[in-house]
Structure formats: structure tokens, C-alpha cells
Structure 1
Amino acid sequence: MNNSSTPALPSFWRRIPLAFGAFFSTLSDAEYAARIVRLADAPLTPTPAAAPVAAAPAPTPAPAPAPAPAPAPAPAPAPLRDTAPDAALQLLTLFQREARLIDFTQENLSAYSDADIGAAARVVHEGCSKVLREHFTIEAVRSEAEGSRIVLEEGFDAGAVRLTGNVVGKAPFRGALSHRGWRASSVRLPKLADAHDASVLAPAEVEL
């Protein structure tokens, strides 16, 4: 179907009667003849060109998928402090001098009776207690009596209180105090001379 507004051109056989009719009408009708003259003198109107068909717009590319978020960096490990070994060596020296602790732990006890071991353990216990009393102030971490029920609120010091048993969920935790813990509130180790070799825990003895 032609939807254009331009009228269809008449065929050859249709133009024959039109030509004869126009010929006789021009001879007999002055006004008709004038219209023919005006039509002949009018400039030809060019047939309007068909409007160009607009090109189909290029398909819009699909947006690129958003990049996956980078994983959060792992927390940096807590820095570790270097500890001077001299203090630990000095403490071993004190335990050996007052309680013969190193002698006791280095001895093969399988050849001794339980009574002999018990007597030696009493000497070690008394000597170690003396060292701790003289060079440290030791206090309990928790003031409650062992066996009492306590509540650990959120933010409790995990370095001072260790959870045991069925540890599930998060604070607050409720449980029984099985051990009060210990902390050293002060340390009083003797000073060492610069030339002192702290690695010698007990000098060898030579009897003359």
C-alpha cells in the first residue's frame, strides 16, 4: 500500500481524452485557457525527496561489572618486645643459691625414695619462697575467693583472665573462679656489675 500524498500519474490512455477535453475547453473557455497558461508558466515543483531513514542507534554497551571490593588487609601482628636474658638468668641464680632448684631439677630422682624426694622438695619450696618474698611483691589477679561465681563484662582483660571450659559466644561471661591468678606488682632484683657473666648460674666448686 502506497501511503504517499502524491497523486498517481494518469496512464497514456487516460491522457488521450484529457488532452482532447483540454484542447476544446481552451478554445471555448477563456478562463480555462488562462489557468492552462498559468500552469504552463509556473515553475515545476520538484518532487520532495524521501526523508533519509535514520540509522538505528548503536546499541549501548552494557556497563562493565563493578570490580569486587578488595579484601580488607589482615591486621598487622602485634609487635614483639625483645627481653633481655640477664634478668631471667639472675632469677635462676637466686633460685639455685637459695633453694638448689637447678640441682633438684637436674637430678635423676628414680634412685631416691618418696621420703627422700619429699625432704628435698621441702628445702626447694622454702628456698623458692624466700626468693619470691625478697625480690617480688606478688598479688592475686582476682580478689574473689576461689569457687565463687563472677561475671566478666565486655572488654575484660584477656591477658589477666583466661577462659576455660565451654567458651561460646561473647561477653558477658559467667562462670566459677577456679584460680585467682598472680601478678607481680613490683620487682627488686639486685643490680649486676658490667663485667658479671649472668650466664654462670652457679659456679663450679673445687675443694682443696
Structure 2
Amino acid sequence: MTDSNPSFLGRISLAVSTFFRILGDGEFAASVLRLRQGRAATAPAPTAAPAPAPQPAPTLKQASPDAALQLLGLLQRDARFIDFVEEDIKSYSDADIGAAARLVHDGCRATLREHFTIRPVRDEAEGSRVTLPEGFDASAVRLTGNVVGKAPFSGSISHRGWRVDEVRLPKLTDSHNANVIAPAEVEL
């Protein structure tokens, strides 16, 4: 049988299902009424696609300040970092500041190398052209300049970035007060 001429049992099935749909769906009933009156049935209103489920907000974890305080203490001990930054340098000559900065730089660099394994995020040289594919790690690569559209993005590396591969901070005793990054000194 064709769709335009259903069988007797097909018509019974259609009549029963249509009867119950007319009872349960007012819009469908109105469409059937319009058809019986010789008017064109209106197309059903398009149903909106379901809204995507909202993404849960990322969970923020509270970082303990102990490791940061410990690092400040190490930078102070090995490079006099806090002393240098807290010093009012307006009255010093550029040569004096440069000499002090060289000592602080050497001490900071030695401290970082002793307690961290630091590597570039990108291996390419600065100025190299790269293409970032869709799904690139946005926490490891920050786009700058005229950022429009979607990945892939092509551009030049302006900074290779840094990441820490290993941390080797000394273990702290329970009695250690990490808030004291450099104890006061009393000469006797």
C-alpha cells in the first residue's frame, strides 16, 4: 500500500493515534481542525535546540603560603633579595645599583637552579613562526596582538615562556615559622 492510500488496519491505527493526540495536544487539534475546514495546516513551530548545560565553575583550591614564604626566605638568604628590593635606591649611583643588582641576580639564579628545574614552554627560538592547532593549551601559551577568530592561529613567538618540571624545596619542621623569611640579627 502507498502512503496516500493506507490499508484498513493502517487507517484504524491512524484514527486511534490521532484521536488520542487530538485529546492531548491542543496545537495538533487546531491543525486538524484547519485541515477539515480546508485551510492549510501551519507548520509546527520550530523547537529551540536545548541550551547546553552550563559548565560548572572551576574549583578554586586554596594554596598554602608556606612554599612561597620558603622561597622568599631562600632568595633572601642566598641573594639578599628582600634587602635589595626594600632598600630605597634613589640616593645610590647607577654604578652602585648595577653592582648590587649583579650580586642579587647571581644569588637568585643560583637559588632557582638549586631548588627548581625550569624549562622553556616552547623549544622554538623567539621570533620563530608557529601554528597553534585547535585545542592548544591556553594555560601554556598566551595569545597577544590581534586575536580574532578560532584556532588554528599562526604567529611569532615573542617569549618562550617558562615552566617548572621539578621542585626541590627543603622539608620544613612543624616548629618552623615560615612567616619569618629572614630572622633579625643581633651581633654580640
TM tier, smaller: 0.7 to 0.9
AA of the residue aligned to 2:135: G
1:126-155 deviation per Cα after TM superposition (whole angstroms, max 9, x unaligned): 000010110001111111111010000001
What is the Cα deviation at residue 69 of structure 1? 8.1
Show the counterpart of 1:36: none
Which runs of no fewer than 5 residues in structure 1 stay unpaired? Answer: 1-61
Structure 1 residues 70 and 148: alpha-carbon distance in aligned structure 2, compared to 1, 3 A threshold: closer
Cα deviations by residue, 1:28-82 (Å, 9 ceiling, x for unpaired): xxxxxxxxxxxxxxxxxxxxxxxxxxxxxxxxxx749x89888655422100112
**In the superposition, relative to structure 1, how do residues 196 and 168 fare at CA in structure 2: closer, same or farther (>3 Å)?**
same
Match of 1:117 among 83, 91, 97: 97
For 1:159, which of 132, 139, 152 is the aligned residue? 139
* Counterpart Cα distance in 1 of 2:164 and 2:155: 25
The alpha carbon displacement at 1:103 in A equals 0.6
1:195 to 1:164, Cα distance in 2 relative to 1, 3 A? same
TM-aligned CA distance change 1:180 to 1:205, over 3 Å: same
Whether 2:126 is the aligned partner of 1:146: answer yes
Q: CA–CA distance in 2 between the matches of 1:148 and 1:129?
A: 26
Q: Which runs of 5+ in 2 are unaligned?
A: 1-25, 31-44
Aligned equivalent of 1:206? 186
1:95 is matched with 75
> Shift in Å at residue 95 of structure 1?
0.2
CA pair 151-85 structure 1, distance change in 2 beyond 3 A: same
Identity level (%) = 65
Equivalent position to 2:170, from 190, 197, 200? 190
Distance in 1 between residues matched to 2:111 and 2:159, nearest whole Å: 23
Higher CA-based Rg: 1
Residue 21 of structure 1: aligned partner: none
Alignment of 1:46-125 (within 5 A): 63=27, 72=52, 74-125=54-105
Query: Partner residue of 2:158?
Result: 178
Q: Note the aligned Cα RMSD (angstroms).
A: 2.2
Structure 1 stretch displaced more, 150-159 or 79-88? 79-88
TM value normalised by structure 2: 0.73
SS at match of 1:186: strand
1:166 to 1:83, Cα distance in 2 relative to 1, 3 A: same
Query: Following the alignment from structure 2 to structure 1, what is the Cα–Cα distance between the partners of residues 64 and 98?
Result: 35
TM-score relative to the length of structure 1: 0.66
**Aligned counterpart, 1:6:** none
**For 2:153 and 2:49, how far apart are their aligned partners in 1?**
36
Count of paired positions? 148
